[in-house]
């Protein structure tokens, strides 16, 4: 595992969307960045127009990492992810994409390698742009409004205070297993994460 590890958080750019459920992937990236860069000099995200993303590059738990937040809208996420993968020459084994998931309740988070896009618009576009989709996914539960017609308004609105607290708690659980994940111990990271977020409510 000598190559760069690329961590992409999905969301919509701009302050209008920053606190919406659809930006849970950005929340994960911002929380991770804040934790690993606390006190660091000049550790800001910087716009890299050539890859359509705000980028931070640095060592995280001993691994050379790129944190990337696409500057294109969610439905065009694949454009940015493909540009990132090509520019930094990252294989599917060294790519993690974090995103919101309607099928998981707030407070639940899942780590998985490979699989489908689950109907998520950002992931669907990534599938259109990448040849190898056998990458790691971090699915951040945001819950479902109950009706298909209500989904768009739901994901583009802010969660309740309780839901937001649950989502952020699950993000904290994911960050806690990042040392193992970045060390290549994916099975242990997955087991610890899934065990840690189990509760009677789930």
Beta pairing partners, 5: 65
Average pLDDT of adjacent 10-residue blocks, the chain of 202 residues: 86 96 97 81 86 94 95 97 96 97 96 91 96 96 94 96 97 96 95 75 42
Question: What is the model's pLDDT at position 1?
Answer: 43
Determine which one of 22, 33, 61, 76 is catalytic. 22
Classify residue 202: in a domain, yes or no: no
The boundaries of the domain holding residue 113 are 5-196
Question: What is the model's pLDDT at position 202?
Answer: 40
Tell me the CA end-to-end span of the chain in Å, nearest whole number.
34
Over residues 75-116, the pLDDT tens digits come to 999 999 999 999 999 999 999 999 999 999 999 999 999 988
Distance CA 119, CA 16 (A): 24
Q: What percent of the chain has pLDDT over 70?
A: 93
Annotated catalytic, 169?
no
Could you give the number of structural domains in the chain? 1
Residue 40: which CATH number? 3.40.50.1470
Question: What is the model's pLDDT at position 179?
Answer: 96
């Amino acid at each position: 595992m000598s190559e760069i590890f690329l961590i992409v958080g999905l969301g919509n750019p701009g302050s209008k969307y920053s606190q919406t459920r659809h930006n849970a992937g950005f929340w994960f990236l911002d929380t991770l960045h804040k934790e690993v860069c606390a006190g660091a000099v000049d550790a800001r995200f910087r716009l890299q127009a050539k890859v359509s993303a705000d980028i931070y590059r640095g060592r995280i738990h001993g691994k050379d990492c790129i944190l990337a937040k696409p500057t294109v809208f969610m439905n065009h996420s694949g454009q940015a992810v493909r540009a990132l993968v090509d520019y930094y020459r990252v294989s599917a084994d060294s790519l993690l994409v974090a995103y919101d998931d309607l099928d998981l309740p707030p407070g639940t988070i899942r780590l998985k390698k490979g699989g489908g896009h689950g109907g998520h618009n950002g992931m669907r576009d990534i599938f259109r742009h990448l040849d190898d989709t056998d990458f790691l996914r971090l699915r951040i539960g945001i819950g479902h409004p109950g009706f298909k017609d209500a989904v768009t308004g739901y994901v583009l609105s802010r969660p309740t205070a309780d839901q937001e607290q649950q989502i952020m708690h699950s993000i904290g659980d994911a960050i806690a297993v990042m040392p193992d994940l970045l060390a290549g111990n994916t099975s242990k990271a997955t087991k610890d994460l899934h065990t840690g977020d189990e509760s009677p409510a789930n």
